[in-house]
Structure 1
Amino acid sequence: MGRIENIQFDATYYPVAVLSFTFFLYLFKYVSPSLSARLCPRFTQLSDSKQIDWHSRVNSSLHATVVSAFCVYTMLYEKELNEEPIWWDSPMVRTSCAVVVGYMTSDAVLMAIHYKHIGEIFYFFHHGASIYAYYYVMTYGVLPYFANYRLMAEISTPIVNQRWFFDALGYSKTHPVYISSGVLMTVTFFAVRIFTMPTYWHKVYSVYGTEDFLRLGHIQLVLVLTCFVLDLLNLVWFYKMCRGVHKVVVAKFDKNRNITNLKLD
């Protein structure tokens, strides 16, 4: 790995990142508190800690929805991404990455400020790795296919957050809505974050060592090291999800069995 060849610094998309950063801080501080109280009266009964987490997840869900829409559109209409996965300059992908960098930076700031409520070391590693990777795509326009492919993971985020909202609002863990949301969360998370791993790494393998790949210089780390860290974190989170779903399903099964036994008695 050496210097980057024939590539220039480009700050064109930095205003998008700054706007994204500012927008999500404003959403967290002012918009979410007001709308949440109006649309969900039970929100006001939550503890301060859960309200902070709630606003953080509102940010997360909106960010994921916007980025996922960009991602799907690009996959459907920019066929050049697959043909030139390293050097195709895609304004849509670079805009998505700028939004991600701005959001991730704002979320890291909020986690640091409210660390005792929403701070988690895994998320700092995740955000750091994501910012590092998408910074290069936003700035230099490289690796559009790989960046867009990784952004598919955001499709699962609103569903993960919805499950948390149900829990925060006091839904019983054996309630059908709670159980179905947990299963949907786990299946979706697996589909877009775990199942997609082999395809991603096969694509990396297909370009590894090529002339286009070698021109990347140290940005090669984005394809390999950064995404390896992110995949490890996703595997850890998926394991935790599976354990949680298993506990809920077992509790539901035991409850139904106890009710059946009482009726038989």
Structure 2
Amino acid sequence: MICWFYPSLGGLEYVVHHSLSAIAVAYSMYTGEGQLYTFMVLISEVTTPEINMRWFLDTAGLKRSYAYLINGVVIFFAWLVARILLFIYMFYHVSLHYDQVIHMHIFGILLVFGVPAALGVMNLMWFGKIIKGLKKNLSKRV
């Protein structure tokens, strides 16, 4: 429904992102497995207010304002920490505790490796767009 009626909200990537997150949260709540990794991935949602603020500023016609520029810089750093560096640390943590992770149910193992990998790819793709947009915005100001 989102893809059909609201493609500007993100389309298929939006649906995949939220579906994977919902499945992982439901699984970890139901089984008690993988909760740390689920919470680590959910910390990435700390970037949502900045993304929403960007939309509000854009809709209000304030793309050339300092608030828009500052928000873009905040998005860059928040995304870098919460969605790039934290994911790298999470994969490092999984590798350190691999002997424990493999004792999870097979579906839990698939979630621990699959969900963060899929979200990580999307996060890198979006981070590239954030960098491109920030460069464009900064170049207009110089």
Asked if TM exceeds 0.5, the reply is: yes
Q: Does the alignment pair 1:131 with 2:22?
A: yes
| Structure 2: tracts of 5 or more residues without a match | none
Greater Rg over alpha carbons, structure: 1
Q: CA–CA distance in 1 between the matches of 2:8 and 2:39? A: 31
Q: What number of residue pairs does the alignment pair up?
A: 142
Q: CA–CA distance in 2 between the matches of 1:144 and 1:116? A: 32
Show the 5 A alignment for 1:41-120: 111-112=2-3, 114-118=5-9, 120=11
Instruction: Note if contact 2:41-2:87 (Cα within 8 Å) is conserved in structure 1.
Output: no
Show the 5 A alignment for 1:224-243: 224-243=113-132
Question: Deviation per CA, 1:10-40, whole angstroms, max 9, x where unpaired?
Answer: xxxxxxxxxxxxxxxxxxxxxxxxxxxxxxx
Opposite residue 123 of structure 1, the aligned amino acid is Y
Question: Deviation per CA, 1:204-228, whole angstroms, max 9, x where unpaired?
Answer: 1122133x63242231011101110
Q: 1:194 aligns with which of 84, 88, 94?
A: 84
- Give the equivalent residue in structure 1 for 2:31: 140
Opposite residue 206 of structure 1, the aligned amino acid is L
Structure with greater helix percent: 2
Distance 1:133 1:252, change over 3 A: same
What is the root-mean-square deviation of aligned Cα atoms in Å?
Answer: 1.7
Q: 2:74 aligns with which of 175, 184, 187?
A: 184
Opposite residue 203 of structure 1, the aligned amino acid is H
The two structures have a TM-score, normalised by structure 2, of: 0.90
The two structures have a TM-score, normalised by structure 1, of: 0.50
Opposite residue 115 of structure 1, the aligned amino acid is Y
Q: CA–CA distance in 2 between the matches of 1:248 and 1:218? A: 43
- Give the equivalent residue in structure 2 for 1:175: 65
3-state SS, counterpart of residue 214 of structure 1:
coil
- Give the equivalent residue in structure 1 for 2:110: 221
Distance 1:119 1:157, change over 3 A: closer
